[in-house]
Amino acid sequence: MTAHSSFDRWPKAELHLHLEGTISPDTLWALAQANHVALPVGTLAELRALFTFESFEHFIKLWMLMCSCLKTAADYERMVDGFVEECVRQNIRYVEAHFTPYNHELLGFGGRRALDIVTRRLEGAEAAGGPVARLIADIPSEAAGKAGPYTAGLLEEETNPLVVAIGLGGPEVGFPRALFAPWFARARAAGYEAVAHAGETEGAPHVRQAVLDLGVRRVQHGIRAVEDEEVLRLLAERRICCDVALTSNECLRVVPAVKDHPVRRMIAAGVPVTLSTDDPPFFGTDLNREYERAHRELGFTPPELWELNLNGLRHALAETGVRRRLMAEFRAAAEALGIG
């Protein structure tokens, strides 16, 4: 089997991706024009250039600009449709996407309203044979004091068939993970799982806090855990999966280059790992490319990468029946493709 020619044929699972972060420059341009939203650039070409990652601050500004262009139900449906089309193109059969209701509340559309529209569109896509998608209701850390209670309250008040967890995104610096413990506890008490970004731009203590204070099932990134052997052991012993995004880490300068990424050290320590894209248009990547880079620059063999892919189902937060059905589908594909 030739890896480069086959990754696009693999059925894949992705556990670390932000729904709003999948909006392409072309879609953003169209939304801005339709909704008369002023952009900081005058042409589509300049907007595409704006998607070249510069800094986390630049990223957050562009993120909020994208959200501000979502004005109508049709706009949210368009965002979901683009996301689904990309999943189909890449043969992603299962995906867990972060979605941030608070930002849409803040911008006046309504967080619950946005979540309901997204849910209905994803349910329709799944019913039509598209990807199985589940959602993580995300707290943006920079708005902790308001976003935390808002998100926890939203989850307590309403049962959404696709929301499987509370999550935590936004900047790490200045926002200890333990700060969010009360809102995570409320969500867990309401029956939701927990996922958090940690160990990306801050060190191993944030990973420890995510596990011990937030009670997470998975850590998004988590790569700075390699700075502390005890934290690595904690992840391994508790089988806490780290959803790694190679190109994102390179662009954010968390690692000098993908070839320097510590993901192999994590695996060697017994930590379960998956590969994901984070915010693909920002980093010029997709899931096939992440697999290709892991193969080419880190020396992962196709069988090793297939195990990381299966981790995406083993550590998925979907219902047991869904995971079993998809695992059977993936194993049948592995046999047909000669993986192993």
CB 245 within 8 A of CB 221: yes
Q: What is the rounded average pLDDT of the residues 262-285?
A: 97
Mean pLDDT across the chain, nearest whole number? 95
159-217 pLDDT tens trace: 899 999 999 999 999 999 999 999 999 999 999 999 999 999 999 999 999 999 999 99
**Residue 228 confidence (pLDDT) above 70:** yes
pLDDT tier for residue 54 given thresholds of 50, 70 and 90: confident
Catalytic position from the list 105, 200, 250, 290 = 200
- Report pLDDT for 3: 43
pLDDT tens for 299-316 read: 999 999 999 999 999 999
**pLDDT reported for residue 2:** 44
pLDDT band of 340, cuts 50, 70, 90: low
Separation in Å, CA 249 to CA 77, 223, 253, 277, 297: 30, 9, 6, 10, 14
pLDDT for res 52:
81
In the predicted structure, residue 321 carries a pLDDT above the cut 50: yes
pLDDT at 339: 87
**Nearest alpha carbon to residue 3 among 294, 242, 265, 326:** 294
Give the pLDDT score at 8. Answer: 94
Percent of the chain, pLDDT > 90?
Answer: 91
Give me the torsion for CA of 113, 183, 68, 45, rounded to 10°. Answer: -120
Any idea what DSSP says for residue 142? G
Active site residue 200: yes
User: What residue ranges do the domains of the chain occupy?
Assistant: 3-337
CATH class of the domain whose range is 3-337:
alpha beta
Closest CA to 178 of 150, 137, 206, 139: 206
pLDDT digits (tens, 9 = 90+) for 66-99: 999 999 999 999 999 999 999 999 999 999 999 9
DSSP type of residue 332:
H
In angstroms and rounded to an integer, the radius of gyration of the C-alpha atoms of the chain is 19
